[in-house]
Structure 1
Amino acid sequence: MKKQLVAVLAAFCLTTAIATPIKSYASTSTTDSSGEVVNEKLGDPIVVYGGSLSDSEKASVKSSLGVSGNSGIKEITITGADIAKYIENGNASARLYSSAKITPKNEGSGLVINIVTPENITEVTSDMYSNAMLTAGIEDATVEVAAPKKVTGHSALAGIYKAYEVTTGKKLDPERTDVANQELSVATDIAQNSNVDDKKVGELLTEIKKQIAEQKPATKEDVAKIVDEQLKKLEISLSDKDRQLLIDLMNKISNLDINFGKWSSQLNDLSGNIKDKLSKINDDIKNDTGFWASVKNFFKKIIDGISGLFG
């Protein structure tokens, strides 16, 4: 009898570990560039390959990004020297597999990020890329990210910097690109260390940056207040370490040479996109009858087990 009671109690304890299933949304479509009308006012589409790719891996990435021999897309490679150029104290010996295709768009079009191999980009989300790219000064482009095997996705950002400069002829501010890279690292750290859903992290970063753009905080204490307000508003709990990392990052962002008036509008667009994704996830959870049926069945088995002990 005692062993059976222990087993039942253990089953009840397991209920605390039931997690709501979160579905990841990342586009698996690619642009058929050969079928597009070329806008001669803009730069050409360009693909940047990770410098560590083997020939077979590069061929796989080409296929994922829709690059063929007659596509007319310029192709370049990111190297360790580029990492050192765009990221302060960047590791020039880093292994580089993440690759991307950049297609410039008309002013005001905003950023569209498609991770075309979502199964292989394991840490960085499309929202994290969007946030970091806005911080770096990249705007009005469609970006497709791919990798031939499982990677974190961090190195794609430096490749995007290089491709953007080559195709648009615009020089990115190295201070902004460095801070943007730090932002990507902080975002993935928070998602992993504090067990915060990656889309919730994207929403948090966007909302804090919106408030920085609107309030223009004068001191680090003002930045900390904004961070704490948004953490409370979004009901996100961080460790002291992650909270401090976030405050330090946002303080750096607040001191960048950014047109915050224009930035605020771009962040509002990004915020709307993230909230739409979160709403879709919630709707899918509510409509996931299979999940709720399994929960009901789980509890029924526990109740039946208890009834068997005392019936």
Structure 2
Amino acid sequence: MKFIKHLFLSITAFTVLTSLMNLNSITVKADTSELSTIPVIALGTSLKSKQRQQTIKVLTQFLHGANYQETNTTGKDLVKYLNPAGNNFTINSKVWSSAMLQKTKNHGVQVQIIPYHGKNNITTTTEDQYANAALTAGIQNCKIYITSAVPIDGSNALAGVYKACKEQGTNLNQKQIDAAQDEINTLSSINNQNKGENNYSDSQLNKAIAEAKKDMSSQKSNVSNDQIKAIINNQLSNNHLDNAINNDQRNAIFKLLENVRDSGSLNSDFKFQASQLVGQINKKAHKLVNNNKSNTLPTNFNFLDWFTGFINSIAKLFKGSYFF
């Protein structure tokens, strides 16, 4: 009888222990899944204490008190992510720019540069350039917020985004990162060369690039050099940039899109993300016109872009969506 009692107690204890272990296993799995969706802030390691706290405040204002994770972007990260693309960073390089990555559902990549103390300290790289480069790097369906405590050109800000992706469990392909960094440098350079030109805007160029990526995705890795060139010419024409982009700039655009193809980026997911980016650039341009309450148009305003946005807004009333 004593033996049966001990046996019963042993079986009961084993059952309880097993149940607790299974419960713990389920809980850990749920926590891990939740962590992958929590926004990640990548803070430049050169920030001083007050700058760091202010940067966190600037980036998290859109979370409305929700949880977030923190990580640091160091010189070592610049070496890891950016040097293969041709940069010459060292582990002692200063890092000021900071970024927050927040996942979304099927809305593509959206980028917003946030002023620091009311000033935009990202002096060269634009939101559309960041978004296009993030697309090339393989980043999908997220909001990216970027700021800097000091004035910088912003060319290395995406290193923090790449680091944040890793913290969320997404390891990006280095070839795609290299293509993205080449792209951001190329588009920034073309934008700088065309500043002040009335028949050019950064949004027009980035829309043309995103649409070219979408067209290339339809043919995936089989798209030839001649087809890429035809796609470029077609999209530059569609976006009224024929007279704004010179031959050297066309060749630079061809090279960056060739790199996109060779990096292995092109697939159906990439096509969807490119389509989302085209739509977001369209909406942003449309909003810019609507928010312009004076009769003075922006320096880079293009009437044909405005007219397209106007027609799209009318169509939206009847169909509920924009034409892209």
TM-score by length of 1: 0.73
Report whether the alignment pairs 1:63 with 2:63.
no
Distance 1:126 1:233, change over 3 A: same
- 2:186 corresponds in structure 1 to 186
Instruction: Work out the CA distance in 2 between the residues paired with 1:112 and 1:229.
Output: 25
Instruction: Work out the CA distance in 2 between the residues paired with 1:207 and 1:238.
Output: 16
1:288 counterpart letter in structure 2: S
Instruction: Work out the CA distance in 1 between the residues paired with 2:42 and 2:88.
Output: 18
- 1:9 corresponds in structure 2 to none
Report whether the alignment pairs 1:86 with 2:84.
no
Instruction: Work out the CA distance in 2 between the residues paired with 1:189 and 1:243.
Output: 12
Instruction: Work out the CA distance in 2 between the residues paired with 1:90 and 1:80.
Output: 12
Query: 1:116, 1:145 within 8 Å by CA — same for their partners in 2?
Result: yes
- 1:204 corresponds in structure 2 to 208
Using the TM superposition, give the Cα deviation of residue 200 of structure 1 relative to its aligned residue in structure 2, in angstroms: 1.7
Instruction: Work out the CA distance in 2 between the residues paired with 1:201 and 1:95.
Output: 31
Output the aligned Cα RMSD: 2.5
1:235 aligned residue (240, 244, 249): 240
Instruction: Work out the CA distance in 1 between the residues paired with 2:192 and 2:286.
Output: 22
- 1:74 corresponds in structure 2 to 69
SS in 2 for 1:155: coil
1:272 aligned residue (263, 279, 284): 279
Using the TM superposition, give the Cα deviation of residue 244 of structure 1 relative to its aligned residue in structure 2, in angstroms: 1.2
SS in 1 for 2:144: strand
2:194 counterpart letter in structure 1: S
2:175 counterpart letter in structure 1: E
Deviations 1:212-244 (A, max 9, x none): 112445322221121122112212122322211
SS in 2 for 1:170: coil
Using the TM superposition, give the Cα deviation of residue 148 of structure 1 relative to its aligned residue in structure 2, in angstroms: 1.2
Query: 1:98, 1:147 within 8 Å by CA — same for their partners in 2?
Result: yes
2:99 counterpart letter in structure 1: A
Deviations 1:169-197 (A, max 9, x none): 12110000111111111111111113342
- 1:135 corresponds in structure 2 to 136
Instruction: Work out the CA distance in 1 between the residues paired with 2:287 and 2:107.
Output: 23
Distance 1:261 1:72, change over 3 A: closer
Query: 1:42, 1:105 within 8 Å by CA — same for their partners in 2?
Result: no
1:266 counterpart letter in structure 2: Q
1:223 aligned residue (228, 232, 250): 228
Instruction: Work out the CA distance in 2 between the residues paired with 1:62 and 1:284.
Output: 29
Instruction: Work out the CA distance in 2 between the residues paired with 1:215 and 1:233.
Output: 20
SS in 1 for 2:171: coil
Using the TM superposition, give the Cα deviation of residue 259 of structure 1 relative to its aligned residue in structure 2, in angstroms: 4.8
Using the TM superposition, give the Cα deviation of residue 283 of structure 1 relative to its aligned residue in structure 2, in angstroms: 4.1
- 1:51 corresponds in structure 2 to 45
Deviations 1:8-51 (A, max 9, x none): xxxxxxxxxxxxxxxxxxxxxxxxxxxxxx98273322111112
Q: Percent identity?
A: 25
Q: Segments of 4+ in structure 1 off by > 3 A?
A: 215-218, 282-285
- 1:29 corresponds in structure 2 to none
Instruction: Work out the CA distance in 2 between the residues paired with 1:41 and 1:74.
Output: 9
Where structure 2 has 5 or more consecutive residues not aligned to the other structure, the ranges are 1-31, 298-324
Instruction: Work out the CA distance in 2 between the residues paired with 1:54 and 1:241.
Output: 42
SS in 2 for 1:124: coil
Report which of the two structures shows the higher radius of gyration computed on alpha carbons: 2
Distance 1:148 1:174, change over 3 A: same
1:50 counterpart letter in structure 2: G
Query: 1:84, 1:91 within 8 Å by CA — same for their partners in 2?
Result: yes
SS in 2 for 1:100: strand
Distance 1:104 1:39, change over 3 A: farther
1:158 counterpart letter in structure 2: A
- 2:103 corresponds in structure 1 to 104
Instruction: Work out the CA distance in 1 between the residues paired with 2:259 and 2:249.
Output: 15
* Number of residue equivalences: 250
Where structure 1 has 5 or more consecutive residues not aligned to the other structure, the ranges are 1-37, 293-311
